[in-house]
Amino acid sequence: MNIVFASHNQHKTEEVRQILGSKWHLRNLHDLGQTEEIPETSDTLQGNALQKAQYVFDKYHVDCFADDTGLEVEALGGAPGVYSARYAGEHCTYADNVNKLLLEMKGKTNRRACFKTVVTLILNGETHYFEGRVDGTIIETPRGTDGFGYDPVFMPDGYTETFAEMSAEEKNKISHRGRAMAKLVEFLG
């Protein structure tokens, strides 16, 4: 069965392809020839995930899903949240974002945070949502080289390693995206 992941990210596509298994033939935006970025102008994760999936459905008329993720930090009132990708500015790097976060967190004793992912699926023209969440803390000094984004400063509850110190397999088992995708896969069967 065919399904499209509304993403340009090959790394994420491969991850999802493995989770879905051989029953599903997964294509992403590159495979469709969609080179342009899809607008993400909502101020919620759910809104952005829907916007991306709806764009693909309207343009290509295929079953598809999209994801959106944010890091919510308690002491910062939930920031960077839906703006996690561009926290330090429009064309910033992952390192810029981590540095900005550590600066904002300087001297803060409450270091609780969580990652949230929303996946929106449009199947046979109907919309479904799946959510995944992982709680943890923001550490003071980055550790580890694997992963991406805020991984070097996020330590999930119950672990002494950051996401950037874990193998991809270990991270996927407990991560926000891994959990949301697992729900999608269960639904798809």
Q: Which residues contribute to the site for ligand IMP (CB under 6 A)?
A: 67-69, 71, 84-85, 97, 147-151, 163, 175, 177
Q: Quick one: 23 or 42, whose CB is closer to ligand IMP?
A: 42
**β-strand partners of 129:** 120
Q: Classify residue 115 as left (phi > 0), alpha (psi -120 to 50) or beta.
A: beta
CB of 100 to ligand IMP, least distance (A): 11
Q: Quick one: 122 or 180, whose CB is closer to ligand IMP?
A: 180
| Chain residue whose CB lies nearest ligand IMP | 149
CB of 73 to ligand IMP, least distance (A): 12
Catalytic residue, from 43, 58, 63, 68: name it. 68
Cα dihedral: 154, 83, 80, 133 (round 10)? -50
Residue listed under structure tokens 């984004």:
149
Active site residue 68: yes
SS3 category, 31? helix
- Contact in structure between 142 and 98 (CB atoms under 8 Å): yes
Q: Where are the alpha helices (DSSP H) in 105-175?
A: 168-174
Q: Quick one: 122 or 156, whose CB is closer to ligand IMP?
A: 156
CB of 124 to ligand IMP, least distance (A): 25
Catalytic residues: 68
